Homo-oligomer: A and B are copies of this chain.
């Protein structure tokens, strides 16, 4: 009975029964290769065969463990969500959000991360699993920056009852809009404007939760 359940678990998701050593190494190599492939060819040009070759892994392994380009990107997103970087604490809300806006712009205009985010957004638009993974990624990212808004509320910089997450989203939104939707150039002035506008709207009480 127990023997059967172990077999079943293994046949459903390879890599879960023996996650150590080789399995972990293969995953790391494949995700690294996936990211490189996305930088070069975008989501549309993602090819499981080439990813396998680049990772130095048999293509059968990639097809078996992931099965599709979308699943590969979804796993990459879960991996990216785990690597969190700490938020700023400059002492003022405007300083913190400016740091956030600067970081977002830095990331989106980065020659390596820019294409990755482009691809990841495209993947989420094509596949529901990717959409969920991308949602999870931003949920953690937003959660990391919530404290600096809550500190500002404690200092009285924004009204009590301000939805911290909504303020953080308001900073990213204009930058991502230019980056992924209207496809306009993204300058440092846009980052400054995004942070400033978010603070102004927050102080005016537009982000107080219902």
A169 touches B183 (CB 8 A): no
Which residues of B sit under 8 angstroms from A144, Cβ to Cβ?
A: none
A183 touches B42 (CB 8 A): no
| A contact face: mostly helix, strand, loop, or mixed | helix
Interface size class of A (residues with CB under 8 A): 35 or more
Considering only residues 70-122 of chain A, those with a C-beta below 8 Å from chain B are: 70, 118-119, 121-122
Q: A43-B126, A121-B125, A124-B183 are in contact. List 11 more A-B contacts (CB 8 A).
A: A42-B127, A121-B121, A124-B180, A135-B183, A170-B174, A172-B177, A173-B173, A177-B177, A189-B210, A198-B201, A200-B204
Q: Does A132 contact B (CB under 8 A)?
A: yes
Q: Show the binding face of A for B, using Cβ within 8 Å.
A: 42-45, 70, 118-119, 121-127, 131-132, 134-135, 138-139, 142, 166, 169-170, 172-174, 176-178, 180-184, 189, 193, 196-198, 200-201, 204, 206-207, 210
A197 touches B201 (CB 8 A): yes
In the A-B complex, the 3 residue pairs with the smallest Cβ-Cβ separation, listed nearest first, are A197-B201, A122-B125, A44-B126
- In the bound complex, how far is the Cα of B135 from the Cα of A172, in angstroms? 19
Which residues of B sit under 8 angstroms from A170, Cβ to Cβ?
A: 174, 197
Which residues of B sit under 8 angstroms from A121, Cβ to Cβ?
A: 121-122, 125, 180-181
